[in-house]
């Protein structure tokens, strides 16, 4: 399969489905391409489906929010000219990449822009869970602070403890750097790609991290941090067996994908004090239902999938997604293309 010839960007049509796409970037889209439809929404629904589907018949490129279920909505059958899709995210469990490859469609993502911000969120969840920040905030607001705090209000130290990281990609390594260099923590990790005991990050710093098998990580870690992507292989990677293998004093933090943890098993472990606590940014079903028992548990910190949600990082991701789309439509998939190798094989 040969790559299409380069067509001037001003001759191309693009679709953007993303809520609150920055006006500066909307202006850039409209200046760069011949035609653009901006759908100010994070999904395709009854209010915009007819207009969107009609426009897709002529679309060459598509910038999308990660919530758009591309396969489920059968969007591809409405877009015969589509050459590139660019998601404003690092994860892509909303897409079957093989289907895009079969059509010769480049699939782009934003893997580097959000690394530090998500790592910061991870440390925030670790600290908030260990020091019971949210729980004690509510305790003070309820008027229960009548005297100096006593052991029932005490938390747990983070510094000099052991953190076990599942998934040692960019974000996992950024978390390791913060834990090792900022909190003098012992760092363990589980990874499909076993590395050396001393790991160097992209800033040139060295920190100690030891690759171990999962049973050792679970049994010895004070904090278990999940940085795993969502997939069939990682679904319920952590369930009852793994939670029971953890220390009773341990805290689990998930900033990867909600499907990685068996949520019902986690709730039972928290209710029964099988583990001490949890810090969660992602869930099996999002938004988290108000009826979820997680909402009633004092030993869990829950936030609404805010891992990368800062003004600076979300702008950076949206800008990167636009750069990715421009590059792909100019037949440059050298950076940030998920299916680059498969597309190159099919040339």
26-84 confidence digits (pLDDT tens): 999 999 999 999 999 988 888 888 898 899 999 999 999 998 877 644 678 899 999 99
Say if residues 139 and 163 touch (Cβ distance below 8 Å).
no
pLDDT of residue 104: 95
Could you give the CA distance from residue 105 to residue 280 in angstroms, rounded to a whole number? 34
Whole-angstrom distance, CA of residue 330 vs CA of residue 168: 32
Name the strand (E) or helix (H) holding 254.
strand 251-254
CB atoms within 10 A of CB 220: 15
Residues belonging to the active site: 257, 286, 305
pTM across the whole model: 0.93
CB atoms within 10 A of CB 22: 15
Mean pLDDT calculated for residue range 105-123 = 97
Average model confidence (pLDDT) across the chain = 93
> What pLDDT shows up at residue 200?
54
pLDDT tens digits, 299-321: 999 999 999 999 999 999 999 99
Map out the domains of the chain with their CATH numbers: 9-111+311-345 (3.40.50.720), 115-302 (3.40.50.720)
3 has a pLDDT exceeding 60: no
The two three-digit tokens of residue 210, written as one number: 């030891």
Instruction: Identify the pLDDT of residue 194.
Output: 57
Put the strands of the sheet holding 210-211 in their side by side order.
Answer: 210-211, 186-190, 162-166, 223-226, 251-254, 277-280, 300-302
* Structure confidence by residue, pLDDT tens digits, 202-255: 556 678 899 999 999 999 999 999 999 999 999 999 999 999 999 999 999 999
Find the length of the chain: 347
121-147: per-residue pLDDT in tens? 999 999 999 999 999 999 999 999 999
Higher pLDDT, 326 or 72: 326
pLDDT at 1: 43
């Amino acid at each position: 399969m040969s790559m299409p010839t380069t067509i001037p960007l001003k001759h191309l049509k693009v679709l953007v489905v993303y809520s609150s796409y920055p006006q500066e970037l909307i202006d850039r889209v409209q200046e760069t391409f011949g035609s653009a439809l901006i759908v100010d929404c994070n999904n395709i629904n009854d209010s915009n489906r007819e207009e969107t589907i009609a426009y897709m018949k002529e679309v060459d490129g598509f910038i999308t929010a990660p919530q758009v279920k591309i396969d489920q909505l059968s969007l591809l059958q409405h877009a015969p000219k589509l050459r590139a899709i660019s998601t404003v995210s690092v994860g892509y469990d909303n897409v079957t990449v093989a289907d895009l490859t079969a059509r010769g469609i480049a699939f782009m993502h934003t893997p580097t822009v959000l690394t530090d911000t998500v790592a910061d969120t991870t440390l925030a969840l670790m600290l908030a869970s260990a020091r019971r920040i949210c729980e004690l905030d509510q305790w003070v607001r309820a008027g229960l602070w009548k005297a100096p705090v006593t052991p029932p209000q005490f938390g747990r130290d983070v510094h000099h403890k052991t953190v076990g990281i599942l998934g040692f990609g960019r974000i996992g390594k950024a978390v390791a750097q913060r834990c090792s260099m900022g909190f003098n923590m012992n760092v363990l990790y589980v990874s499909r790609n076993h590395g050396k005991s001393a790991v160097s990050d992209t800033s040139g710093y060295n920190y100690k991290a030891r690759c171990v098998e999962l049973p050792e990580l679970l049994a010895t870690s004070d904090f278990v941090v999940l940085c795993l992507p969502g997939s069939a292989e990682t679904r319920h990677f952590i369930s009852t067996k793994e939670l029971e293998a953890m220390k009773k004093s341990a805290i689990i933090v998930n900033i990867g994908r909600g499907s990685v943890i068996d949520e019902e098993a986690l709730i039972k472990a928290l209710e029964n004090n099988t583990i001490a606590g949890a810090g969660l940014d992602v869930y099996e079903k999002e938004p988290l239902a108000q009826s979820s028992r997680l909402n009633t548990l004092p030993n869990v910190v829950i936030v609404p999938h805010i891992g990368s949600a800062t003004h600076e990082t979300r702008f950076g991701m949206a800008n990167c997604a636009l750069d990715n789309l421009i590059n792909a439509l100019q037949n440059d998939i050298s950076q940030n293309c998920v299916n680059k190798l498969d597309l190159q094989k099919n040339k």
